[in-house]
Structure 1
């Protein structure tokens, strides 16, 4: 019988925010795959572990080898359906049984931290990509959420939005290291965020 590839969302990273089924799969996994940070946080003694690096083709070979003998649990940050490894793994293992256990995305967690709903927000990413300019056009009452990276950090994005016609006094927030003890949240305006340093890998929320 073919072994199962489990894709488990670990939310923002703190084990307190991982669903119980996901935690159980992680705890009892024979083979556990994840970022170096997640392996440090979640791995149990005796588990076979593989870190997720930039060499995804090598990782796929390692997973394929292990699936010959064991189930494999792959931890992905945030939710499995939001900019995760799920599409890549489905493409690499089309005939293999896959079970997906969702988590909490950093985006939904960010809106929760701001006591805001996100069902009416436009969610986009500046992490390794750029949204189409027409998606950034100002509209009164418009909500947006962005994933950021070191190049397109909240300060850079705030300047882009102001140049696109967004009022400087628009409420905007940058959120980093969500769920951890050193969590950082700057809830202010686009104008203030243009001077914000850091927050490379973070979430930015704009509330027009």
Structure 2
């Protein structure tokens, strides 16, 4: 029988937000790859583990070698279909070799926390990547959900949005450490972001 890569979404981080099916698959795994934090939180004892780090070639080689003897569970934050390691896996392995178990993304949880519908939102990652002008351009009916990072942080993004026509009074929610005990959510306007500290790697929701 050909072994599989099982890509498991572990949710935003807290064990409270991982799906039962994902927990069962991780508990039964013999080989698991994931971030240091994910492995420390979810990986059972006495399993073979591999940290997913900047050496992506090494991680892919480890997975390919491990597939000779076992299924390989790959834990990814949030949902595998939303800016995760799944995209990298699909550059080397076929869809037939991969099974995906969905999870709750930080984006999904952010919209839930602020009781906002996200079916009509433009979802953008500015975490290590550039956004398209068409996504950033102002429209009075537009709603944005943005993943930020330390360089493209809320202040940087606020200035970019102002340059793309968004008014200063646009509503903003900054959502950091979602699902953890130190979760922080702040509601303000686009013009007030310059006064805020402590939000870098977060989910930023912008509406009119």
Q: Which runs of 5+ in 2 are unaligned?
A: none
In the alignment, which residue of structure 1 is the partner of 2:104? Answer: 104
On the 8 A contact 1:33/1:51 being kept in 2, the answer is yes
Match of 1:54 in 2: 54
Deviations 1:56-82 (A, max 9, x none): 100011111111111110000111110
Question: Does 2:94 align with 1:121?
Answer: no
- The residue aligned with 2:71 is 71
TM-aligned CA deviation for residue 86 of structure 1: 1.1
SS of 1:41's equivalent? helix
TM-score by length of 2: 0.95
Q: Distance in 2 between matches of 1:70 and 1:130?
A: 37
Shift of 1:105: 1.2
Contact 1:155/1:197 (<8 A) preserved: no
Query: Distance between the aligned counterparts of 1:96 and 1:56, measured in 2?
Result: 21
Equivalent residue number for residue 165 of structure 1:
165
User: For residue 43 of structure 1, what is the aligned residue in structure 2?
Assistant: 43
TM-score calculated relative to the size of structure 1: 0.95
Partner of 1:152: 152
Q: Please list every run of 5 or more consecutive structure 1 residues that lacks an aligned counterpart in the other structure.
A: none
**Contact 1:3/1:96 (<8 A) preserved:** no
Match in the other structure for 1:187: 187
SS, match of residue 29 in structure 2? coil
Q: How many residues matched?
A: 208
